[in-house]
Amino acid sequence: MTDIIQLLPDHVANQIAAGEVVQRPASVVKELLENAIDAEATEIKLIIKDAGKTLVQVIDNGKGMSVTDARLSFERHATSKIKSAEDLFQLHTKGFRGEALASIAAIAHVELKTKRPNDDLGTTIEIEGSVLKSQEAIVTPTGTSVAVKNLFFNIPARRNFLKSNNVEIRHITDEFHRVALTHPNIAFAFYHNGNELFNLHIENYRQRIVHIFGNKTNEKLVPVEEETEVLKVSGFVGKPEFSKKTRSEQFFFVNNRYIKSPYLNHAISAAYEGLLKDGYHASYFLNFTVDPKTIDINIHPTKTEIKFDDEHTLYAILRSSVKHSLGQFNIAPVLDFEQQSSFNTPYSYKDKTVAPPKIEVDRSFNPFEDGDQAKEKSTYNAVNFKKEPAASWESLYVGLESKGNGKTTDFSELTFESETKTDPIFKSSAIETSKTTFQLQQKYIVSTIKSGMLIIDQNRAHQRILYEGFLKHITVKEATSQQLLFPLELSFTPNEIHIIKDVKTNLEHTGFVFSEISEERLTVTGVPVGVSDSEVSIILEQLISDVENDVPDASFSAADVLAKSMAKSLAIKNGQTLSAEEQEHMVDSLFACKEPNVSPTNRPTFITMKVDDIEKKFM
């Protein structure tokens, strides 16, 4: 028998490793920036072309490499950063796997130029798909430049999988933020297609945050400083009134490494308890310094996950130090006394009058009027009632339940079925023939139907109604806009502006009018009919957060995300009292929708309780 196991050739092994390390241009950015930092650079330049699809280049003024090291740096598991397994527990560098350069060189054209401070000449290496093309001596400044061109040139499937330039540059910007934030003692410049996006000088942490996220950030930062035996926490948290719909300003760094930790994030949320409105997130920029022995970063190839020896203690320390800071700055009551309601109102809304949501009600509409007359008066028309002339939403619903789609259901049969089973006493009762609804806990609309009882979730139902309306406006491009008396100026981070620009056309189709969009500012002069100016920033913030969260979804459709997002922002919330007419109008409009039974996010809008089931409960 012959042996069948073979060692994979290096270039194949490298490509496999590359799959883990390099998912998109942003991964290359991260690895190269980290290498420059490990090389103790004080100035780092990031140059991007076509969102990294054509070029990712990082130039540093760090310690450079010798001729041999330059060649070795592209070998797998070649690293200067650890020598033995024990070193893994003493890590003071970002890299340690020695995999990044080998992986990148396996799937791109790479050109390296490097020189150490005391060498006269430097080295340049060209490598393409793991194949060394040339290595020569050159004149080059001290430090290292790595240019990565034509990413995934030899893996077309991966290249095709890349998202639009806008999405890829957003990922790159995220990586840049994370690295630049942790290293205010290093100057960074970032260029995309020849435009300077960032030029950050050596500065302190607060200045760095402000220079990345915009000037308005300054006033919202509250310092956090805490030193205990196991851990040092330092950085800033955002004042509650500046909380955001997105999580885009939440940063944890452990020993200067960006990490994701839902558990520690929870500790922060706990510190803000009672200070944030539902669905809003605190901003934070926090650095932990811990003994490298007490963490394990080796569990994830891209190293954004980390294991702490004693998470519970960290949780407690983090929570109390954030709480302490918020309290010291008179933001939170130090003791948990009764919550003051003013804390829940973002400052920008405090002085504004609250506009009650308007629901148009056709007061003369009576669905039980005979046939044609009722239909003429009715304000809804999306569903046809051909099968049953006197149809109301009630029988419509019965059909929906059985087929999931009202249009082709034979209502008479279903109605008949339920009628035969229903005790006559119910049939003749007043409750059944007059359409009554009532609100339960300001959350559900309860209504009677022939077969029993209908319970509608008011928020989800309204989302469905608004969603279909917006979607229609966007696709038909016919929405009307109302001019604002005073243009509304809103500030955003450059990244957020980017997102808004992406969906601008669709936003305009819903009725928004923008007079100016600059790097951090947006001027709104018109809004969709029915939207009040106090709702504009809520809509846009929600939208940004939804677009951000939807990026990984391949079926990303801007129009759909926008319609969903606006519906979410504007829908009547739970806890809101609705008049009888409003309730009825909601029920009618819901069942005039194309898909009344689910919310835009696919959750049930209503449930039913059949009389049969109720009867069973009484047995």
Binding flag, residue 81, ligand ADP (CB under 6 A): yes
Query: What count of residues does the chain have?
Result: 619
Interface mask toward Mg ion for 100-119; x: CB under 5 A: x-------------------
The residue within the footprint of ligand ADP, chosen from 29, 44, 46, 100 (CB under 6 A), is 100
Q: Which stretch binds Mg ion (CB under 5 A): 7-15, 96-104, 317-325, 352-360?
A: 96-104
Report how many helices (DSSP H) and strands (DSSP E) the chain contains, helices first. Answer: 22, 22
Q: Which residue is nearest to ligand ADP (CB)?
A: 95
The residue within the footprint of ligand ADP, chosen from 101, 290, 536, 540 (CB under 6 A), is 101
Show contacts with ligand ADP in window 452-481 (CB under 6 A).
none
Binding flag, residue 95, ligand ADP (CB under 6 A): yes
Q: Which residue is nearest to Mg ion (CB)?
A: 95
Classify 143 in phi/psi space as left (phi over 0), alpha (psi -120 to 50) or beta.
Answer: left
472 binds, among Mg ion, ligand ADP, none (CB under 5 to 8 A by kind): none
The residue within the footprint of ligand ADP, chosen from 144, 255, 392, 447 (CB under 6 A), is 144
The residue within the footprint of ligand ADP, chosen from 33, 36, 326, 540 (CB under 6 A), is 36
Structure tokens at 416: 């008949």
Whichever of 97 and 170 has its CB closer to Mg ion, that residue is 97
Closest by Cα among 8, 10, 25 to 153: 25
> E strands of 492-539, at which residues?
513-517, 521-528
Binding flag, residue 238, ligand ADP (CB under 6 A): no
Nearest-5° Cα angle at 230, 229 to 232: 85
Beta carbons of 446 and 439 less than 8 angstroms apart: yes
Binding flag, residue 80, ligand ADP (CB under 6 A): yes
Binding flag, residue 35, Mg ion (CB under 5 A): yes
Beta carbons of 220 and 238 less than 8 angstroms apart: yes
Q: CB of 68: closest distance to Mg ion in angstroms?
A: 18
Residue 147, strand partner residues:
57, 111
Binding flag, residue 318, ligand ADP (CB under 6 A): no
Binding flag, residue 97, ligand ADP (CB under 6 A): yes
Binding flag, residue 62, ligand ADP (CB under 6 A): yes
Binding flag, residue 35, ligand ADP (CB under 6 A): yes
Binding flag, residue 414, ligand ADP (CB under 6 A): no
Closest by Cα among 109, 167, 119 to 140: 119
222 binds, among ligand ADP, Mg ion, none (CB under 5 to 8 A by kind): none
> E strands of 458-499, at which residues?
481-491
The residue within the footprint of ligand ADP, chosen from 73, 261, 463, 495 (CB under 6 A), is 73
Whichever of 144 and 493 has its CB closer to ligand ADP, that residue is 144
Beta carbons of 15 and 39 less than 8 angstroms apart: no
Q: CB of 184: closest distance to ligand ADP in angstroms?
A: 20
**Coil, strand or helix at 279:** coil
Show contacts with Mg ion in window 507-566 (CB under 5 A).
none
Closest by Cα among 178, 100, 115 to 145: 115
Binding flag, residue 95, Mg ion (CB under 5 A): yes
Binding flag, residue 78, ligand ADP (CB under 6 A): yes
Kind and range of the H or E element at 61?
none
Count the residues of the shown chain that bind Mg ion, applying the rule CB under 5 A.
3
Structure tokens at 491: 């500030």
The residue within the footprint of ligand ADP, chosen from 17, 39, 46, 590 (CB under 6 A), is 39
Closest by Cα among 106, 101, 60 to 81: 101
Helix residue ranges per DSSP H, 368-438: 371-377, 393-403, 411-421, 424-427, 430-433
Binding flag, residue 60, ligand ADP (CB under 6 A): yes
Alpha-carbon distance values, 178 to 7, 101, 172, 285 (Å): 38, 20, 10, 10
CA 281 to chain centroid, in Å, comes to: 12
Structure tokens at 348: 């920008």
Whichever of 93 and 344 has its CB closer to Mg ion, that residue is 93
Q: Which stretch binds Mg ion (CB under 5 A): 9-17, 95-103, 179-187, 341-349?
A: 95-103
Kind and range of the H or E element at 148?
strand 143-149
Show contacts with ligand ADP in window 242-271 (CB under 6 A).
none
Q: Binding residues for ligand ADP, per CB under 6 A?
A: 31, 35-36, 39, 60, 62-65, 73, 78-81, 95-102, 144
Q: Binding residues for Mg ion, per CB under 5 A?
A: 35, 95, 100
